Amino acid sequence: MAWKIGVDIGGTFIDFCALEQDEQRLVTLKVLTTPDDPGRELLTGIERLRETEGVVPEAIEAFVHGTTIGLNTVIQRKGARLALITNAGFEDVVELARLRLPDMYSLFCAQPEPLVQRDMIFGISGRMLADGSEAAGLAPGDLGPIVGAARARGAEGFIVSLLHAYVAPSHERAVKREIERLAPDLFVFTSSEVWPVIREYERSVTTILNGYVHPRVAGYLSGLEAALASRGVPARPLLTKSNGGLMNAAEGKTACVNMLLSGTASGVIGAAYLARQAGLGNVLTLDVGGTSADLALIIDGEPQFGTGEAVGEFPLYIPSVSVSSIGIGGGSVARVDEFGVLKVGPESAGSIPGPACYGRGGDEATITDAMAVLGILGQAPMAYGQFQLDRDLAVRVVERLAKRLGRTAEETAEAILDVAVSEMFVEVEKLASRAGVDLRDFTLMPFGGGGPMLGCFLAREIGVTRIVAPRRPGVVSALGGLVADLKGDFIRTVFSPCEDLAMPSLEQSLEELTAEGETWLREGQQFAGRIRTELFADMRYAGQSFEIEVPVARRWIEAGDAAAIRDAFHRQHRAVYDFDDPSGAAEIVNLRLVAIGESDPVEFPASAPADQPASSVRDISVFLAGKWLSVPLYLRADLEAGATFAGPAVVAQEDTTLAVPAGLSARVDAFLNIHLEAAE
């Protein structure tokens, strides 16, 4: 039997999806993470899959891995000490950024401390112009003292970001060659090789992020390759990317910035696959892990993409799956502040010590503890037998908060749930406003270990009347790696009016991008399958400062049809801003191509639904809406296609627990997803 393994590492658990490719049989597993020894949990999971499911390492033909190591490096500020080389007179670009405060309404808001300290930023002579010509030549002799000073201050690597390198990279390349000659033991990244896009701050911060995480990511990936080889796994690992695609680990060691948001992106890709399978077009996804909740929109069956997604305190200017995150997860800690107000998050208990009810030394109340106090959690085996939930420990830590609030432990636990949902509500409203959508037209898909626990309560608050809980909600991000394609993004800044005279130049740029994409897939990724491409133009009206993304048909450029591109831009501008100016001059700033190497389809077998009431295993007591209720407990493994039931109820399974409040009716579809709908 040949196996394909998908893995996603979160804050509390590492998730495994193992697909037996002949019969399309899927088995899943969760293993507690080991922050003190990253990677050990991976080998533990492989061994457990061998013991419990007969997954022989030698039969693993594909291994797809998502990791948060790069993201955590940025958040924890544990990256490389970098030196930045830029043009003389532009040494403050990183600190000035775009002169936008993270929170314009806060009097105490401040810009984040840059990842490169001011005394590690060096200006050099030489200047390229926007038309690609050279205004002033480089002085190579300047680099000797700069490299020496950077070494003396502890530099581990260099970032080179010069003006107009997106169109004329020769100066950056010359600087890199000289640094490699003077300091061959230090790494060097240039902005033109990482992401050659217009605007120096955007290029600089993206390149800095790449260099900042490089040593830790490269070291981790080398260890991963060695560990898999030591277990006899023949597959070379693939990595999930921020754009929802895949790349090989060899590229990941240098193109580190492309995998900073890999875990959140693969969750949305997995959810989009499940949404299409269930016949759903518009979906709001809610991925709740141990430390955070990630929200995203799927429109017409497709994830939404953008640039400027947040990585810690910094924007990431490469195409990424659009995800909004908030520090609310199963391990989020509840506390009472000095004013007697109950707060939840963003601090998290993580996997060590974890929630108190895990019995691993946690002594602070978390959302998971609140769920245990309410009787929702701990009613059936969970976490694949790794521990038994201890409700008494949860009651003990929640009672400490209850005394300060003058409430019972159960009332306090329900209040923790309400506060967590209200925090999510605020983020959902912002997401819907930015996208200009009416969430009443959407179905909520909760997944992750904590999503199904909180999803129905959030849906009630935001007015969503339809919820779908996937068959294996706890491992959707790992599933996303199994169904993702190889995907590379390529860009040309063209700065061209959208007119017929510009079409030959655009066609040349398109040919170059197409060749780059095919080379990346065939040679860089060793891909021999079917390739398809997607094309976009970043466009604006003349005089505007920023662009919008416009899907473009290749045939329009090849036929020199500027009018078709302008019409598409006007339509997109109206869709985004409810305004367009058909008589206005349009400009194309960037031409972007996505090269996709299509993976083999994953098709799970469907079951024939047989309408019948679901059978519960027993009734349990849960505290909801301020009182104790007797509700049925269902085991997810017992729910067959066509089974129906009504809330209030609890559905338990190894990777999560689904809480179903009153007023919802449920039906299991042919793929064993649970569809919940509110009564009219």
Confidence band of 313 (pLDDT split at 50, 70, 90): confident
Per the listing, tokens 């601090």 go with 347
Q: Quick one: 201 and 89 in the same domain? A: yes
First to last CA, the chain: 49
Q: Quick one: 167 and 207 in the same domain? A: yes
Tell whether the model's pLDDT for residue 90 goes beyond 70: yes
Say if 625 falls within a structural domain.
Answer: yes
Q: Quick one: 86 and 176 in the same domain? A: yes
Say if 156 falls within a structural domain.
Answer: yes
Domain span including residue 209: 78-216
Predicted pLDDT of residue 571:
96
Predicted pLDDT of residue 523:
95
Confidence band of 66 (pLDDT split at 50, 70, 90): confident
- Looking at the chain, the whole-number percentage of residues with pLDDT higher than 70 is 99
Confidence band of 25 (pLDDT split at 50, 70, 90): confident
CATH number, domain of 522, equals 3.30.1490
Predicted pLDDT of residue 680:
62
For residues 352 and 20, the model is more confident at: 20
Mean pLDDT of 66-75: 83
Confidence band of 64 (pLDDT split at 50, 70, 90): very high
Report the range out of 11-20, 175-184, 309-318 with the highest average pLDDT.
Answer: 175-184
> Which 3 state secondary structure label does DSSP give 270?
helix
CA distance 469 to 453: 10
Q: What is the pTM of this model?
A: 0.90
Beta-sheet pairing, 486-497 with 649-652: unpaired
Mean pLDDT of 165-181: 95
Per the structure block, which two tokens stand in for 81?
A: 């000490």
* pLDDT tens per residue, range 505-530: 999 999 999 999 999 999 999 999 99
Predicted pLDDT of residue 560:
94
Predicted pLDDT of residue 13:
80
Q: Quick one: 30 and 95 in the same domain? A: no
Helix axes 200-230, 40-53, angle to 10 degrees: 50
Q: Which residues of 136-172 are buried (b: 16+ CB within 10 A; e: fewer)?
A: eebebebbeebbeebeeeebbbbbbbbbbbbbbbebb
Say if 452 falls within a structural domain.
Answer: no
> Which 3 state secondary structure label does DSSP give 546?
coil
Q: Quick one: 9 and 86 in the same domain? A: no
447, β-bridge pairs: 287
Say if 377 falls within a structural domain.
Answer: no
Say if 351 falls within a structural domain.
Answer: no
Say if 504 falls within a structural domain.
Answer: yes
* pLDDT tens per residue, range 379-410: 888 877 777 889 999 999 999 999 999 999 99
CATH number, domain of 15, equals 3.30.420.40
Tell me which of 183, 216, 249 is where a domain ends: 216
Confidence band of 262 (pLDDT split at 50, 70, 90): confident
Beta-sheet pairing, 618-624 with 627-635: antiparallel
Mean pLDDT of 147-171: 96
Long-range Cβ pairs for the range 398-402 (8 Å, 24+)? 398/334, 398/365, 398/369, 398/370, 398/373, 400/365, 401/334, 401/335, 401/336, 401/342, 401/365
DSSP string, 276-287: HHTT-SSEEEEE
Mean pLDDT of 639-656: 94
Q: Quick one: 169 and 83 in the same domain? A: yes
Contact 386, 31 (CB under 8 A): yes
Contact 256, 215 (CB under 8 A): no
Confidence band of 36 (pLDDT split at 50, 70, 90): low
Predicted pLDDT of residue 102:
72
* pLDDT tens per residue, range 416-465: 999 999 999 999 998 998 888 899 999 999 999 899 999 999 999 999 99
Confidence band of 35 (pLDDT split at 50, 70, 90): low
Mean pLDDT of 538-564: 95
Exposed, middle or buried by CB within 10 Å (0-12, 13-18, 19+), for 289? buried
Mean pLDDT of 164-168: 94
Q: Quick one: 210 and 228 in the same domain? A: no
CATH number, domain of 180, equals 3.40.50
Tell me which of 565, 597, 629 is where a domain ends: 597
Of 572, 561, 513, the closest CA to residue 539 belongs to: 572
Per the listing, tokens 């391990």 go with 331
Predicted pLDDT of residue 38:
66
For residues 570 and 94, the model is more confident at: 570
Of 491, 483, 509, 487, the closest CA to residue 595 belongs to: 487
Number of structural domains (the chain) is 4
Say if 322 falls within a structural domain.
Answer: no
Q: Quick one: 620 and 542 in the same domain? A: no
H or E element that contains 587? strand 586-597
> Which 3 state secondary structure label does DSSP give 468?
strand
Q: Quick one: 100 and 27 in the same domain? A: no
Tell whether the model's pLDDT for residue 39 goes beyond 90: no
Predicted pLDDT of residue 498:
96
Q: Quick one: 513 and 585 in the same domain? A: yes
Q: Quick one: 49 and 145 in the same domain? A: no
Q: Quick one: 84 and 12 in the same domain? A: no
Tell me which of 241, 275, 304 is where a domain ends: 241
Q: How far is CA 657 from CA 301, 323, 454, in A?
A: 26, 24, 10
Say if 261 falls within a structural domain.
Answer: no
